[in-house]
Every structure is written in C-alpha cells, then in structure tokens.
Structure 1
Amino acid sequence: MLFFGDEEVSDGMYYIGYPLIFLGIYLLIFMIVIKLLWGTTRYYRSQARLFGKTVIITGGNSGIGKETALELAWRGARVILACRNLNKAKQAAQYIKDKTGNYNVDYQYLDLSDLNSVKRFAEHINGSEPRLDILINNAGIASEPENGLTLTSQRFDLIFGTNYVGHFLLTYLLTDLLKISSPSRIINVSSFMHKMHWTPLNFDTGPNREGMRYPNLFDYRCSKLANVMHARELAKKLAGTGVTANSLHPGVINSEIWIPFKSKWTYLLFFVWKFVLRHLCLDNRGGAQTSIFLAVDEGVMSVTGKYFSRSVVSNENKLARDDVACGRLWNASLDMCGLAQ
C-alpha cells in the first residue's frame, strides 16, 4: 500500500496510473511533433495586386485550388477555373465573386484524364484569351474513384494520367500564350510524397497491365515525382523566355482528396486519420499559401526550376535532380501525348 500525503493509494492504482500518465505525455509529444511538421505554414501577408493578370487554376472548384483562386481574385486577377465538375465550378465561381467583389471570374470544362478534353480546353483558351500570366497545375487525385475506374481515356494509369500527363499536355499547349505574356509563371502542385518514390521512372511500354500504356508509371507518388521533374525540365527549356516553372508541396491538408479512402480503409483507420487531419494538419487556406506565394511574390519572379515547401526552397527527391531522367520523362511525355519530338 502506498501513501501520498494523508491519502492511501493501492498498488494497483499506482501501477495503472503512472503508465497512463506517461502514455498521455507521449501522445501529447507526438501530437506536437505532427502539428509542427504537418500543421504549420508561412501565411503570405503581402498586399501585392494582380490587376490585368490572367490566371488559370486546374481543380479550382474545391480544396486548395478554390482557396488559391479566391486569394488571387481578391488581388484583382482574372481567374479561370478549369474543372471537370461544372456544377461545382459554377458554384465556386459565384462564391469567389461574392467574397471578393471581383466578377472577372470564369470557369471552363477540363477533364485532365482525357487528352482530347485538354486539347479542346487549350484551343479555347488560345483563341479567346489575349494573355496568360499564371498557370497553376493544381488538380489531382490520390486514389481511384469508387466507380472502379483505373485508366484514363488514353489508357494511362488514372492517377498518373490525371495528375501528370494531362497537366503536361495542358502546359505544352499553353506555352506560347505564356511566352507572349511574359514575365509569366507555371506552378506545379506536387507533394512531399514524391520523396517516397525510391526508384527511377520506368518508361517501358510493356508488358501491359490491363492494356495500360506505360504500365510502370502509376500511383500518387510517381505522379508527384513527375510533377517536380516536369517543372525542372520546363525551367531548362523556357530559359530566357521570361516564363518560370516551379513545383511545390502544399502541406498535409484536410481536404476532399481524402474522401475516396473512406471506402478503401477500415473505419477505425479512416476515423483516426481524419482526426489527425482535422486537428493537427492544415486547412485548405493554409494549404494554398505556397501556391499563392509562387503566383504573387515579386521575389521569385526570376526563380525557376525549384521545389518549394512552406514558401521556401526545399530539397526535392534526388531522382528529380537527374537532368538526364528529366529529359527522358519529357520525351516520353511527348510520346504519351502524340506530340512530335
């Protein structure tokens, strides 16, 4: 029997209580570390305006894309939301107009998983817009949808095709307009998950998996590595044109991108992950800050080919620093899109 002051405490309470206290301390330390690593960012405070500038944001109808669009519209830019869901895009555009008082906000249909849709969108933009100052390749998926679709219209892996191939073609087709409008900026939204891709990209075209073209180029990590490599190669090819290209990690965000995982994970795992996201990670506004910084800040006007996190230059996967590999990805991407080399 143990005594604390005038109170008598049983040995059982002693042996149960102290481990629980230490467990609580460990959990608190763990939560603080996660918050510091995943739940903090640099909020962009500059009052710089974008009057006379035109911005295209893919996936601008929700998540960090919507928050980025809201901020850039508030700064006076003409903002075009390039989205697959036109109903949500219409609602987002109206929301942005109401919030900012900027009615120069438009939305256009774009399905990045269909290269024909990308071509139609780019043709419309090139024919109707006199300038394009900022292209933010923001849209992305992290998991196949619940309908079981795994391939794009051109039979690339759905995640890789949507996150990378569609954006590659879009950027390629809008490059001349970006050059005309220089100084202009290309911003690829990647992820720290690109660092988890350990092996060089494999451009073999067979044997095909379910008829998939480039069957070794699949999943989220691969697509986000390709986004970083794309920006690096663009920086080389656009040197001297006044067009910069950079990539970024927006942070770990409590956004709609996690919704498909609800049906793929156990209830307990998804519940725990949502708790972490909600209480320890960034919201959409926080996740948009690095995109906003790269779109607006004058200090990065001449910075190109870099990877950013928390609005500062960060270290990318060493695979993305291989210029030969970046060149190979570029050539393979031209083939994927049916473009002449």
Structure 2
Amino acid sequence: MPPLDVLISFYTSLTKSLLTLVCARLYKPQEVPPRDLSEQTAIVTGANSGIGLSIAVALAKQGATVCLACRNPDRGAAAVEHVISICGDHCKERVFCKILDVGNLSSVRDFCQSWDPQIDMLVHNAGIAAPPTGTASTTKEGLDVMYTTNFLGSFLMTYLLEPQLSPTARVVFTSSTGSYSATSYFLRGHERKKTSITGLLARTIVRAKTFVGIEESSAAAYGLSKGQQVLFASLLQQRFDSTSLADNTATIGRTAHAFTPGFTSTPIFGKFEYSWRTWFSNPLFAVLKKTEKLIAVDTDEGAKAGAWLATWGDELGRRGEAGGYWERMARRTSFVELMKEKRKSEEWALWERDTGIVWSD
C-alpha cells in the first residue's frame, strides 16, 4: 500500500485534472518564458497539425532548428509553410519536414538511421485516438495499432536516437488526462481474474453490440497507451540520471517529461465518425465531441506546457523535477508514484520484447 500522503496527492491531482477538463477556459492563460534556442535542434513528431504544430511554431519562434516528423508528405510540407508564415522567411533554412510513421516500426528505424545531427529537443507527439476507419487493427508485426502508434514507436525511436541526444536534451511526451484511466492496469497488470459469470456477461454484451453495429470503444486502449508514455518518461529519467552519475555529469543531465494538454480542440475530433452509436461505443468521446466548441481550449494554449518542457526541461532537471507528469506547467502525481518496482520492470521488459531491442544499462 502506498503511503497515505502519496495517495492523497494522487487523488488531488486526478481531481484537478478532471476540473481542468471542464473549466480550462476559465483559467488564466499560461505564460511560457522565452528562451534563446539558437543552435538547438528539435524533432516534433505528428507536427502537421494540432498540438505538434503549435509546439513546432513555439520552438521555431525562439530560434530552434525544427524537424517536423510527419507521416503525410503533403501535409508535412503545408505545415512547414505554416510555421514559416508565422515565424518569418528568415527561418526557412531551419524548419523542414522528414517522413515518419510512428505506427510503422520499419519507418521509425529508417528515420533514425538517416538522422545525424545532435538533438536538443525530442517531442513525441504523434498519436491517434482510434484506428482509422477501414484499416487493420494490428501492424504487420501483429501488434496493436494504437499501442504501436501512441507509444511503442516512440519507445523504439528514443532508443535508436539516444546516441544523438545532447548532454542537456529534453525528451517530451504528449500524454493525456486519460492516462489516469489505466491506473488499475499499471498497479496490478493482468492479475485480476474474471469469474465465469462476468466472462459470460462480457461476451453477451459484446455480441449484443455487434448485432446492432456498435463497435468496441477505443478509450481503454487510448488511456493505456497514454499511461505508458507517463511511465516511460519516469523510467527514462532514471536511466538518464544513472548515466549522468556514471559520466560525472549529474549537474547537467538529460531530462524526460510527460504532460497532458487537457481538453484541447484539435483536428483529432474531426477524424471521428460520429453517430448515435457513439454514445454506446465511446460515451466519453461523444461528450467531448459535443462540448468541444464550448469547453476546449485552442491548440496553442494546450501546447504551452509541452513547449515549456521542451524549452526549459533541463532547468527543471537541475531542480530535481524531471521524469514527472505535468499539467498547465504544474507537476501532478501520477499512478507511477503508486507502482511497485517489479511492475515497472515488467512493463519495460514487455516494450523491449515487442520492439525486439535490449536497452543495455
């Protein structure tokens, strides 16, 4: 059982996050202090729209060389033009697009193999809320598409690019408040056993939904993948810290961070097919879809915490605040603080197995 103060902090953080989903527009806009990022290089995945594009603009404005890592060449090129139109023609030489599909591990390997420059900011933002309509739910490796796209591709990419990370590199993950929904899984894994009665009930419900054309909700898989990002940020920070100590560079150090943008109005909502069935298959999304225009903040506001972590994350590391989960530039207590070390190791081993790598000490 975790200490009482940790439990209280966890549930307090959860409550604050839920309130933010509803009340974000009532809060004072976040103010990110500027920083000169000249001579620094950033990679932002999924930067053709939404949170990723806003982060790319924020970093380019401060002088960084920014690679927009996008799956679609045309959308990537349009995003580059958008960044240049905001930042000015003087940044043409330092804003560019490279093709990357994080849902395809072969694409991840090709991207990393062709990358040479030192990296100061690695922002893992690309992700999906549900598999695209009409596409396979598994990759050619037999892995779940959402798991691969939202997390596993980032895990492999970080491993392959680690040699290129600068001594003060900041690795940032765009997670979600939905990560809290996976708390039970991360604490207990697959320990919970279903009785024959609950198993029969579950099968009956699935068959009934199939009969009336209601698809299974993607919410659980989405929350799990976002939770994996939060856990990875924490475990990656442990690795960075141990490496810094071994190299006598503990006062500098690389940092890893995860953040939630809260309820943000992004293009992701336009990609969902919405009907009356959505209220049964994915009721949470149905509520978000209907209230987006009234409650959600714009992408620039939602992206501010991510841009801040990418910009100032090394300074947070100096203060001993790296490896955490953030919302509105404030650290929250995540389920990671409740986990046993054995469970963390089990998850890490699973990720290594599914990517076919061994991340040496």
TM-score (ref. length: structure 2): 0.75
SS at match of 1:108: strand
Q: Distance in 1 between matches of 2:20 and 2:309?
A: 27
The 3 A distance-change label for structure 1 pair 39 and 175 is: farther
The 3 A distance-change label for structure 1 pair 277 and 320 is: farther
The 3 A distance-change label for structure 1 pair 203 and 337 is: farther
AA partner of residue 251 (structure 1)? G
Equivalent position of 2:101 in the other structure: 111
Equivalent position of 2:209 in the other structure: none
Paired residues of 1:67 and 1:284 also in contact (CA < 8 A): yes
Deviation at 1:300, TM superposition (A): 1.6
Paired residues of 1:190 and 1:248 also in contact (CA < 8 A): yes
Deviation at 1:43, TM superposition (A): 1.9
Is it true that 1:168 corresponds to 2:155 in the alignment?
yes
**Aligned pair partner of 1:219 in 214, 218, 221:** 221
Q: Distance in 2 between matches of 1:273 and 1:184?
A: 35
Paired residues of 2:171 and 2:255 also in contact (CA < 8 A): yes
Q: Please say which structure displays the higher CA radius of gyration.
A: 1
The 3 A distance-change label for structure 1 pair 39 and 78 is: farther
Deviation at 1:319, TM superposition (A): 7.0
Runs (5+) with no aligned partner, structure 2? 1-18, 192-219, 245-252
AA partner of residue 252 (structure 1)? F
Deviation at 1:182, TM superposition (A): 1.2
Equivalent position of 2:85 in the other structure: 98
Is it true that 1:257 corresponds to 2:268 in the alignment?
yes
After superposition, residues 29-48 of structure 1 pair within 5 angstroms as: 35-37=22-24, 40=27, 42-48=29-35
Equivalent position of 2:316 in the other structure: 300
Is it true that 1:278 corresponds to 2:289 in the alignment?
no
TM-score (ref. length: structure 1): 0.79
Equivalent position of 1:5 in the other structure: none
Root-mean-square deviation (CA), in Å?
A: 2.6
The 3 A distance-change label for structure 1 pair 39 and 92 is: farther
**Aligned pair partner of 1:153 in 130, 140, 144:** 140
AA partner of residue 229 (structure 1)? L
Is it true that 1:331 corresponds to 2:349 in the alignment?
yes
The 3 A distance-change label for structure 1 pair 320 and 331 is: farther
Deviations 1:237-288 (A, max 9, x none): 1114311111111111111222333246558988864441112111111110
Q: Distance in 1 between matches of 2:76 and 2:260?
A: 24
Equivalent position of 2:173 in the other structure: 188
Deviation at 1:34, TM superposition (A): 5.8
Runs (5+) with no aligned partner, structure 1? 1-31, 205-217
Equivalent position of 1:136 in the other structure: 123
Q: Distance in 1 between matches of 2:348 and 2:44?
A: 22
After superposition, residues 4-83 of structure 1 pair within 5 angstroms as: 35-37=22-24, 40=27, 42-83=29-70
Deviation at 1:177, TM superposition (A): 0.9
**Between 323-332 and 262-271, the greater mean CA deviation after superposition:** 262-271
Paired residues of 2:24 and 2:295 also in contact (CA < 8 A): no
Question: RCO (CA 8 Å, sep 6+): is it higher in 1 or 2?
Answer: 2
Aligned pair count? Answer: 293
Q: Distance in 1 between matches of 2:147 and 2:181?
A: 15
Deviation at 1:42, TM superposition (A): 4.7
Q: Distance in 1 between matches of 2:121 and 2:310?
A: 7
Q: Distance in 2 between matches of 1:83 and 1:318?
A: 30
SS at match of 1:304: coil
Deviation at 1:119, TM superposition (A): 0.5
Q: Distance in 1 between matches of 2:46 and 2:96?
A: 13
Q: Distance in 2 between matches of 1:203 and 1:118?
A: 29
Q: Distance in 2 between matches of 1:285 and 1:316?
A: 24
The 3 A distance-change label for structure 1 pair 319 and 142 is: farther
Paired-residue identity, %: 28
Paired residues of 1:81 and 1:89 also in contact (CA < 8 A): yes
Q: Distance in 2 between matches of 1:318 and 1:158?
A: 24
Q: Distance in 2 between matches of 1:340 and 1:33?
A: 39
AA partner of residue 111 (structure 1)? D
Paired residues of 1:194 and 1:222 also in contact (CA < 8 A): yes
